Amino acid sequence: MGSQKHACKACDGTGLLMDDEQWHYTCTVCHGDGFVAAVEKTEKLQVDENHRVID
């Protein structure tokens, strides 16, 4: 796994996110890796009024 310096802050390095109903999803920030590269580009996600990602 990557260094702690570049661990994904969104999923705490686990690669999974959990919603309020305890459903687990692949982290959209690190794409399930658990860490992010210093040069990784960011993209704006489209979300609905409940902040759910629209695919």
- Tens of pLDDT, residue by residue over 1-34, are 445 568 898 999 999 999 999 999 999 888 899 9
Burial of 30 (0-12, 13-18, 19+ CB in 10 A): buried
Q: Containing domain of residue 10, as a range?
A: 1-55
Q: Give tens-digit pLDDT for 25-52.
A: 999 888 899 988 776 666 777 888 888 8
Per the structure, the count of domains in the chain is 1
Chain CA centroid to CA 55, Å? 15
pLDDT of 3: 52
Cα within 13 Å of Cα(29), Cβ side: 17
Whole-model pTM above 0.75?
no
Q: What would the two tokens of residue 8 be?
A: 């994904």
pLDDT of 42: 67
- Residue 15 backbone class (left: φ over 0; alpha: ψ -120 to 50; beta: rest): left
pLDDT of 39: 67
